[in-house]
Amino acid sequence: MKEKIHPEWYPDAKVIVEGEVVMTVGATKPELNVEIWSGTHPFYTGTQRLLDTEGQVDRFMRRLRKREEMREMQEVQEERRDPTNLSVEAMSLGTRATKALEDGGVTTVGDVLGQLNEGDDALLAMPGIGQKALIDIKRFLRAEGLID
């Protein structure tokens, strides 16, 4: 056997986990610093434990949170884009017709559609709504693609 080619052997090398000596083994180094050993490994303990190496779990959780926020924002934007949720003021009918609709309990474009489904007479029966307002309402609804 050649001299001075083999590393020094430490028969009582300390295995250190999170600053605590957990066991001694034979090794080529006097101290072994490890993150996982049989006392904490999920395979041996039967429990699951997240190891955060360089903040990977935190980064993943931030990305997940951001993705959820983006999804919620997209749902809100889609809801805003829905023309049936718009107020009757968005139809630009004029103050008299808008006030007449609001006084009749019709506050959104969806409510106007509901009234229109009952027939033109349902809207014309409201005080302050005339033929011109009805024509403007239908023009707006056609432009939004809500009626034919």
Structure confidence at residue 57 (pLDDT): 79
pLDDT in tens, 21-74: 999 999 999 999 988 888 877 777 777 666 666 778 788 889 999 999 999 999
Helix (H, G, I), strand (E, B) or coil at 16: strand
**Residue where the block lists tokens 């709504």:** 129
For 91, other C-beta atoms within 10 Å of its C-beta total: 22
Structure tokens at 40: 């904490």
Proportion of the chain above pLDDT 70, given as a percent: 95
Given a cut of 80, is residue 111 above it in pLDDT?
A: yes
For 2, other C-beta atoms within 10 Å of its C-beta total: 5
Residue ranges of the alpha helices (H) in the chain? 42-45, 56-81, 95-103, 109-117, 120-124, 131-143
Cα-based angle 21, 23, 27 (whole degrees, multiple of 5): 105
For 104, other C-beta atoms within 10 Å of its C-beta total: 18
Q: Is 97 exposed, middle or buried (0-12, 13-18, 19+ CB in 10 A)?
A: buried
**Residue where the block lists tokens 């474009």:** 109
Contacts with 26 (C-beta within 8 Å, 6 or more apart), sequence order: 9, 10, 11, 12, 13
User: Mean of the pLDDT values across residues 107-116?
Assistant: 83
- The answer to whether 131 touches 125, Cβ cutoff 8 Å, is no
pLDDT in tens, 75-90: 888 776 777 777 787 8
Structure confidence at residue 32 (pLDDT): 93
Structure confidence at residue 26 (pLDDT): 94
